Amino acid sequence: MISRDAWWALALTALIGCGSASPFDYQPASGKVTYDDGTPISPSGFTIYFSPQVAAINAETHPRVAKAMVDASGNFTETTSHKFGDGLIPAKHKVFLDLKPAKGAKPLVAAAYTDVETTPLEVDSTATDFLEIKIPRPQ
């Protein structure tokens, strides 16, 4: 007969093993986002998104878009795809920004850089875990 303590330990082990694991592998990713000349884009920071350019495993299993908070200096860490800070799927990613200027202010980047469908930015996270992203100033 199993003791009460052994039963609880077994039950806890079973529950821990039932987590929602991702079918994708991840690698840590950090980096810096600036204008072409190296100056920061926004004094208040913004969110950067990474849309993996990999096929779904099946009809229900698609890779998630990752995101990270960019600070006022342009640095980002703790990129999150599935669980906080897990990083990026090792693959090519389309990069876009959630960057809204103050009301009535000039846009900080061209509109194309704020939409996954139109962004020209792409990074390859298989090559490095530090991503340096340069964006031209809007005209």
- pLDDT of the chain, 139 residues: tens digit per residue: 455 554 444 444 444 444 457 788 899 999 999 999 999 998 888 999 999 998 888 888 888 999 999 999 999 999 999 899 999 999 999 999 998 877 888 899 999 999 999 999 999 999 888 999 999 998 7
Set out the domains of the chain in order of their start, with CATH numbers: 25-135 (2.60.40)
pTM: 0.81
Cα gap 133→34, rounded to integer Å: 6
Strand 130-135 to 30-35 pairing: parallel
Tell which residue, 139, 106, 138, 136, has the closest CA to residue 36. Answer: 136
Residue ranges with strand state E in 73-129: 75-76, 92-98, 122-124
